[in-house]
């Protein structure tokens, strides 16, 4: 049924749990795993202190290092389960858009991702990348909490 499962991660604890659940599900159905992480673009004017203090090159290098670390967790879980795994790093200010685009571009037939469970005003103000993926994706999404 599912042949290629996209598992995006931001490196958070809830994402780590979703990685394990997604890899286990992929193992059960015999699917390939595609790991994805998204880092923001560099902006000269920003409220992000890393962007203010770094040059574009330093910011990009730090983003690459963080992405490698996040993707290593997905790769390690997939290897442990004996599954093929492809790793992707996208640079985009809208993680949900990068997730949806990667799922379509790579021919994924399921996205497994975490929900941070923000509710009320905090959820409204911060938004939810998971919610945005659910709204914009044509690929089915399995949300892990």
Give DSSP secondary structure letters for 32-61.
EEEEEEEEPPP-SS-S-HHHHHS-HHHHHH
Residue that the structure tokens 């929900």 belong to = 115
**Residue 119, Cα to own-chain centre: how many angstroms?**
21
Residues of the chain where predicted confidence (pLDDT) is lower than 70: 44-53, 117-127
What the chain holds in terms of domains, given with CATH numbers, is: 4-116 (3.40.50.620)
In this structure, what DSSP letter does residue 84 have? -
* pLDDT at site 125: 47
8 Å CB contact between 91 and 41:
yes
Q: What pTM does this model have?
A: 0.89
Q: Crossing angle of helices 129-136/95-105, nearest 10°?
A: 40
* pLDDT at site 45: 65
* pLDDT at site 132: 94
* pLDDT at site 142: 97
Cβ neighbours, 10 Å, residue 111:
25
Q: Which two tokens stand for residue 47?
A: 């409220």
* pLDDT at site 19: 98
8 Å CB contact between 12 and 37:
no
Quote the CA–CA distance of 41 and 136 in Å, as a whole number.
21
* pLDDT at site 104: 98
Give DSSP secondary structure letters for 2-39.
--EEEEE--S-HHHHHHHHHHHHHHHHHT-EEEEEEEE
């Amino acid at each position: 049924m599912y042949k290629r499962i996209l598992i995006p991660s931001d490196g958070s604890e809830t994402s780590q749990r979703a990685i394990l659940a997604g890899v286990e599900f992929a193992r059960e159905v015999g699917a390939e795993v595609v790991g994805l992480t998204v880092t923001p673009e560099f902006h000269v004017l920003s409220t992000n202190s890393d962007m203010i203090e770094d040059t574009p090159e330093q910011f990009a290098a730090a983003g690459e290092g963080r992405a490698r670390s996040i993707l290593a967790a997905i790769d390690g879980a997939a290897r442990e389960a004996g599954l093929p795994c492809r790793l992707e790093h996208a640079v985009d200010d809208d993680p949900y858009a990068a997730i949806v685009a990667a799922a379509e571009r790579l021919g994924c037939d399921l996205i497994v991702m975490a929900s941070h469970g923000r509710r009320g005003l905090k959820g409204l103000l911060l938004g939810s990348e998971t919610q945005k993926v659910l709204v914009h994706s044509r690929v089915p999404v399995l949300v892990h909490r």
